[in-house]
């Protein structure tokens, strides 16, 4: 089964209701409220619009590239254990603050083999223990070459909703949008141990356009 391409509006559909409500309140206060409260409402509305922005991206032409699944900052690059596939792995984590684009995209061309959802806590997503303690949704992806990749959406201190739109059997293209996390969060990638990292802790990453690793 093939997953249809997620639409590419400038403002992500997950935010339409939030944006509409914020603009309505700001407009109402401009008409009937004190100027300072109206100004504050417009600032909040602008923040919500920028949070839900969702620009189209073009994937690099590299067959063995692993693309960043999210916008943000690289907070972890290490050799560890993949808790979902029970294997040694290269782990790369991207932390999204409230000013990052929060649409999540597939790091590779792959078929979804499995999906897990775990309820949990809402710790600061920049902390390493958030990977195993926070609410999260994980995908097991397998490329046409048989390479396994685990991609994990993790809720954060403010983020309270992890959205994942694919199911086992769906096919994803590199850079295809498959989910969204609201208001600050993290995405972990678990790659084969022979994958070569192309980023370091502290680097900025952009979903689809940043190559975070190369598969052997």
Catalytic residue ranges: 185
Let me know: does 196 contact 171? Beta carbons within 8 Å.
no
Half-sphere exposure of 8 (CA within 13 A, CB side): 8
User: If DSSP states are collapsed to H, E and C, what string results for 112-136?
Assistant: EEEEEEECCECCCCCCCCHHHHECE
Residue located via tokens 């782990």: 91
Signed CA dihedral, 154, 157, 158, 160: sign only: positive
- Nearest CA among 215, 185, 181 for reference residue 67: 215
Q: Which residues contact 39 (CB under 8 A, 6 or more apart)?
A: none
**74: number of Cβ within 10 Å:** 20
Structure tokens at 6: 């997620």
């Amino acid at each position: 089964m093939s997953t249809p391409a997620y639409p590419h509006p400038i403002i992500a559909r997950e935010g339409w209701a939030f944006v509409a409500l914020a603009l309505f309140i700001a407009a109402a206060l401009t008409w009937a409220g004190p100027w300072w409260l109206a100004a504050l409402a417009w600032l909040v509305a602008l923040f919500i619009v920028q949070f839900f922005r969702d620009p189209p991206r073009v994937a690099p032409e590299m067959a063995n590239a692993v693309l960043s699944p999210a916008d943000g900052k690289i907070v972890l690059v290490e050799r560890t254990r993949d808790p979902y596939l029970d294997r040694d792995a290269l782990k790369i984590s991207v932390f999204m603050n409230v000013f990052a684009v929060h649409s999540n995209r597939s790091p590779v061309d792959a078929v979804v083999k499995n999906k897990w959802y775990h309820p949990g806590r809402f710790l600061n997503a920049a902390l390493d223990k958030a990977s195993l303690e926070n609410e999260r949704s994980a995908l097991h992806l397998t490329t046409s070459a048989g390479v396994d990749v685990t991609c994990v959406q993790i809720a954060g201190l403010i983020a309270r909703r992890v959205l994942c739109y694919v199911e086992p059997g769906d096919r994803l293209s590199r850079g295809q949008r498959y989910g969204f996390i609201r208001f600050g969060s993290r995405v972990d990638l678990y790659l084969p141990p022979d994958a070569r990292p192309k980023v370091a802790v502290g680097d900025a990453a952009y979903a689809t356009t940043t190559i975070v690793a190369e598969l052997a």
